[in-house]
Amino acid sequence: MLNNKTAGSLNLSHRLSHRDTITPAIVHLGLGAFHRGHQARITDEFMAISGQRNWGIISANIFGGEQLISDLQAQNHLYTVTEIHSDKRRTYKLVSSIVDTLYAERDRHSLLKAMRSPNTRIVSLTVTEKGYCTNPATGELQLDNPLIAHDLKHPEHPRSAVGLIVSALAARRTARLKPFTVLSCDNMSGNGKRARSAVLQMATQFDPELARWIAEECSFPCTVVDCVVPAVTAEDLATVKDELGVEDKGAIVCEAFHQWIIEDDFVLGRPDWDDVSGVKFVKDVEPYEEMKLRMLNGSHSFMAYLGYLGNYPTISEVASDPDFYAATSHFMKSVAAKSLDIPEGEDLNAYAEELMQRFCNPRLTHRICQVAMDGSQKIPQRWLNTVRWHLEQGSDFAPLALGLAGWMKYVSAIDRNGEAIDVRDPMSAELKLIADSHPGNRADNIAARVKAFLSVSAIFGDDLPKNERFVSEVVSASCLLAEKGARAAVASLRYCEFHGR
């Protein structure tokens, strides 16, 4: 088993020396694969480059993942990252930046103690969109969310990430300590602004003066994160064991590429993460954020829903289909890119080509079902602002209309062959009820079903359901999907793009 003793004998391309001198300054909520493959990996490399050892991480899971925490604790919180290069090379790195791991689902005491510590300068998050407990369309805190409702009644025992942050900041204020920086690393538009809004709304429920102090003293930088980190498989773990000669139950397998764009606004200082290639501190992340959300994440969702319905299990298999490749490339270059204000020095066509190469990497088993999760929270940022831009311009957004048709079919929880779909989404019950209430594939049934889906204001707002062209395009795409199936629908979309509609 990997641990402090066995790590020394491993043949690795990277290891951080003098791990015993690392002290923690970051508390992270959400010890999943992405955190370990991105932020923790970059922090490890930064400390190796800089010689600094005062930015260690205490990582915690506040829901689930008890076995992972147990495994990492048995491994002295060490794990390896296998980087898959586009030329099929593999490099192995030992990550030592996490100095403690906490399973905080049942007992938040140790986690809150770490967050309240004067040594903690940053609290970071990868809790997914639903972890902010806000309406994805309006940004309002969901006061009826069971976690938020609990925290409002029991502020001393918070269950939500937002409640934990408010509780820790309140304790720091009482102790006359400066607040920490709240650093969202979740893959969504305006992640820092969304975290700030949720925290201030929660704090206001308790004490308007606390909310005012947080607003004036605390910082919530926005970030853009990018690295494909698939869920690890049993086969991955077996390969790592064979290659390294030691069992690593916390192993991560991901692409060698990573990007991290960070708004430079930290109240208690920050690591010089930009010592690591691929990391950049900027004044305004929004242009980079929109570029990634609309091109990378938007195309990911396009491939996920239609690829699933086309019986493809992984992103690389979808991207390697000539019709999907052409349609996805067109989506990025001619639909998403046109809606963007281009960041300085960026070539969006080259960016699209790079993304397609990454998507096609067969060594990365990025499963469709992983990308398709939580679509109700993702598509407002990934797709709908692009749709709005094209509606204003009177231009074509056919791939997005077909993508929305695919999503609606996916969340119906029954595929074209009558097989059940395991939909993982916080709104899955509501969405399935809509589908079940409007069965059938006649044109009038499909139109009624589409309009019912579009009436969900938490996703589509109040404007899009009233736009006749938008509704008509999605209804037409849904009819096409029902008639031809996903693969043929994507192929016909490609034909329309290249030969005119």
Domains annotated on the chain, with CATH: 4-282 (3.40.50.720), 286-499 (1.10.1040.10)
CB-based contact 91:85 (threshold 8 Å)? yes
For the ranges 51-65, 108-122, 222-236, the lowest mean pLDDT is seen at: 222-236
Confidence of residue 415 (pLDDT cuts 50, 70, 90): confident
* Sign (positive or negative) of CA dihedral 450, 453, 459, 460: positive
Q: Are strands 79-84 and 56-61 parallel, antiparallel or unpaired?
A: unpaired
Show Cβ contacts of residue 55 under 8 Å, excluding neighbours closer than 6 positions.
25, 26, 43, 46, 47, 97, 271
Which of 301, 328, 381, 251 is CA-nearest to residue 497?
A: 328
Instruction: Specify burial of residue 499 (Cβ count, 10 A radius: 0-12, 13-18, 19+).
Output: exposed
* Sign (positive or negative) of CA dihedral 267, 269, 273, 275: positive
pLDDT at 461: 93
pLDDT averaged over every residue in the chain: 94
Placement of tokens 């300054």 in the chain:
25
Distance CA 455, CA 466 (A): 9
Higher model confidence: residue 18 or residue 112? 112
Report pLDDT digits (tens) over 457-498. 999 999 999 999 999 999 999 999 999 999 999 998 864 554
Q: Is it the case that residue 438 has pLDDT exceeding 50? A: yes
Higher model confidence: residue 86 or residue 274? 274
Distance CA 189, CA 292 (A): 9
Q: Report the 10 Å Cβ neighbour count for 408.
A: 24
